[in-house]
Amino acid sequence: MKTLISEKEIKQLVKKLADQINFDYKDKKPILVGILKGSIVFMSDLMRQLDFDLEIDFISASSYGGTKTSGEIKILKDINCDIKGRDVLIVEDIIDTGLTLSHLKKILESRGPKTVKVVTLLDKPSRRKIKFKADYVGKVIEDCFVVGYGLDCDEKHRQLPYIAIFK
Ligand code: IMP
């Protein structure tokens, strides 16, 4: 496997995102909603650099029938908190087709939050099947499959401290 993003670069990307988010949310008390499972490593690093009051929750979703082309997703584990009137920041590891996030965002928006924004560590815009733009993007990457730093291939390689191209 070839390293695409080193530990040092990941730290810089997380710091850059945290600086932007600290600026935008300084007077707010958002709920960070991590998308399981891939976002947990990124979320734990990001939240430790945020200097405002926050809460965390998690959501887990999968596409129906195991295909990412159906455009429909199924919630496997929902958040536990009430987001009505709250600022919600969805934390994602990578955006690929955009289907998961665009559906999850709509589901959360239907519950009456004040705002819903998205932060993603990685983005593969060339793979989009639906128009979707995150509010905060760590790094745009080419069309390749990556593992490490929470990202998996069949549940493997999540624990790598760097991000590698999986062949
Ligand atoms: P989307 O609905 O196609 O945008 O799917 C996003 C989800 O697909 C991410 O949360 C990841 O779980 C998974 N995914 C997409 N690309 C990769 C990759 O390169 N490596 C590992 N998982 C990926």
8 Å CB contact between 136 and 117: yes
Question: What's the structural domain count of the chain?
Answer: 1
Q: Is 146 in the pocket of ligand 1 (CB under 6 A)?
A: yes
Ligand 1: which atom is nearest the Cα of residue 152? 21
Of residues 96, 123, 143, 152, which has the active-site annotation?
Answer: 96
The domain spanning residue 129 has which CATH number?
A: 3.40.50.2020
Tell me the sheet residues that pair with 153: 156
> Which residue stretches of the chain have pLDDT < 50?
65-68
Residue 1 is predicted with a pLDDT of 87
Entry pTM:
0.95
CA-only gyration radius of the chain, Å: 15
Segment 99-126, tens digit of pLDDT: 999 999 999 999 999 999 999 999 999 9
Residue 93 CA to ligand 1 center (angstroms) comes to 8
Whether 156 maps to a domain, the answer reads no
- Domain holding 94, by residue range, is 11-142
Assigned domain for 155 exists = no
Residue 6 domain flag: no
User: Would residue 96 show up in a list of annotated catalytic residues for this protein?
Assistant: yes
Q: Tell me, in angstroms, the distance from the centre of ligand 1 to residue 146's CA.
A: 9
